[in-house]
Structure 1
Amino acid sequence: MKRGWMVRAERDGRLYDVFKERSVVAIGWHELGSLTDLSSREAILKRVRQTWPDLKQQAAAMSAGQLHRFRNEMKPGDTVLTYDPRRRIYLAGEIVGDYRWDSSIDPQDPNVRPVHWRGEVSRDLLAVTSKNSLGAISTLFLVPDDVLKDVERARTSHQPANTESEEQAEAAEEDIFRNIQAKALEFTKDRVSGLDWSDMQELVAGLLRALGYKTRVSPAGPDRGKDIVASPDGFGFEAPRIVVEVKHRQGTIGAQEVRSFLGGRHPQDKGLYVSTGGFTKDAYYEAERANIPLALMTIDELVESLVEHYEKLDLETQQLVPLKRIYWPA
C-alpha cells in the first residue's frame, strides 16, 4: 500500500531548493555513516547507541525510528512532501528509488532518496485540518491519506478548500488550540510530578507568595501537620493565616489524613491541603464538614493556578518549573 511522508528540508527549509533541484529528499545523522547494511530498526538503534552512548533512551529510540522509516519503510511509489516556511510552499512528489548514502547532496544530510517532483502547493490553499497535520516538527513523519488528497486537490486546482465555511475553519482552529493547550498542561503536570518533595513544597510556597502572602516553610522532619504557613505578615499573627499541608506521592489522601490535619488547627485558621495523588470521595466530604475553611488542591488545580499566576512568581519558583510563553492568533 502506497503511503505519504513529510521530510523536513532542515531548519528554516535550508535544503528546500537543493531537494527541488537535485530531485531528492535527505535527512541527517551523518555521524552514523551509511545505513545501507542496516535493514532493521534494531540494527539502526544499535548503531545509534554505539555512536552516542550518552544519548537518553527515548532520544535514541526516536532517532532510530525516523532513520528506520527513511531507510526501510519508505518505498518507490510513495508520495513525499517537503516545505519551505519562508514562502509557505509545499513541494509534492513521488519516491522513485531506493535509499542511498550521498554526501554530495549535503554533508550534514547524506541519507538520500530520489524523488520525482510534481509541483508546489501554497499552504493558503489547504484546509485547516491539513495545515494542522502538516505542522508537526519531526524530521520525518507519515501524512494521513485525507491530507494527501487535499494537497493533490490544491496542486491541480490551484484553488482554496471550499468545503469549510468561516465558522468551520474557526472551529477547527479552536480545536487545534484546545489540543495544544491540553498537551501543554499535561507536560507541565509531568514536570511538576517529577519534582522531589522539598521542591514541591517550595513550589506551593512560591505560588502563595505570588498571591500576595508571605510564607514560612517548615524544615524537614516532624512538622505537626503543617508544611507551610502563609499570612500577610509572614509570622502567622495577622489574618488570614493559611496553614498548608503538602503530600507529594501517588496514593490518594483519605478522610483520616484530612481529619488529622484539621486536628491541630485554630478557629481562625484557613487550611490548604495539596496532594499530587488526589483525594478520595470521603476526603472531600470531610473537607466540606470541616470546622474551618479547607481547600483540597490536586495536581490539576496546582498546575492551573501555577500557569495562571506564573508571571507573578519569583525567579526561584519559576526555575523549579521553567515555562515558555507561546502566542496564538486571537
Structure 2
Amino acid sequence: MPSVKEKQVEKQIHLIKIESPINGTIISVGDQIRLNIKLLNEQIIPDSLVLYLDNERADKLNDLSYSILTQDYNLGTLDIKVTAWKNNQRQSSSVSVAIKSKNVPKKLSYKLIKTYNHDPKAYTQGLFYHNGFIYEGTGQQGASSLRKVELETGKVLQSANLGQEYFGEGIALLDGKIYQLTWTSGIGFVYDSESFKKLHSFSYSTQGWGLTTNGAELIMSDGSNTIHFMEPNGFAELRRIEVYDNTGPVRMLNELEYVNGKIFANVYLTNKVVVIDPKSGEVLSEIDFSNILKSSDKNGDEDAFNGIAYDSINNRFFVTGKNWSKLYEIRIEN
C-alpha cells in the first residue's frame, strides 16, 4: 500500500512545458539543440528541473534554457524529457526529435560488365552469391521459393517452395545455413545450404524485407528506415540503427548486402542503392541504376528494381529486379 509521500508524488501537477524544440524537429548531427522550457504558472517555480535524454539522466537544469550537444548521439530519434519537482510532486514534459546526417551522400557510378539471363517469373526478394552460384529468394503468395541458380544460364538447379500461405522475402547465408524471411507472417525459415532441407523456423515482430549478414549477426530491414541486428540462433534483436542522409530518414529499405564493412540497400520503388555505415546509420554514398534495364531487355512484366549480391573473390556485384529477364554483373566505381 503506497505511503502518504508516494500518494503525493502520484498526484497530478502542472508545472512546465517544453516550448522548443518542437516535437518531430530534424537536426543535423553536431548541431546544438536549444531547449526552452515554459512555466505554466509563473507564480509556481519548480524546486528542481532534471533533463533526461533517451531515458538516461543527462543533467540538472539551473534555468529554463539549455543547449543539448548532439555529436555524441546516434542518428535517429532522440527522446527529450524534462521532469519538474515541486513540494515532492513531479510533472514531466517530453518531445522527440530526429538527428540526421550533415553530409551529402557521395554519388558512385558503376560499369556494366556482363548480362545474364534471369527467370522473368522470379519475383526477386533476396539475392546472394556463393561458390559460383546465385541464390535467390522469391516472393508472391503461393509462388515463393528459395533457389540455387546457375549464373551463366539462369537455370534453376535447386529449389524449395515456402507454401501457399507465405510471401517470401530476404535471404542470407551464415555458417552453412540459409535464412529466409517472410513478409507479414512474422516467421522465417532456416535451411541446410546444401540440401535445402528445412531445419527449423524463427519468429519476429516486424515485417520481413531484406536480410544479410556480417558473418556474426543477421541484419534485417523491415520496410522502414530501421535496420535490425539479430542473433542468428534465436533471432533475438541485439541492436538497431536508424538510417538517415542529409535530408532526413531513408525509408523503404529493402534487399540488403553486407560488403567490406558497409551495408548496401535497395530503396524500394526507386532505382537507387544506398551505402550505409552499420554503426551510425549514416548514408555514405548512393548509386543510381535508372539506366541499367535496357529497352531490349524488357518483357513488359517488370516490377521494382530489387536484388544485390556480391562476389568477394572477384570484387563484382550482381543486380536485378522483380520479374526482370536479366541479371547484371557490374563493378562499382568511385
TM over 0.5: no
Name the one with the larger helix percent: 1
Q: Name the TM tier (shorter chain).
A: under 0.3
Report the TM-score when normalising by structure 1.
0.28
TM-score if structure 2 supplies the norm length?
A: 0.27
Which has the greater radius of gyration?
Answer: 1
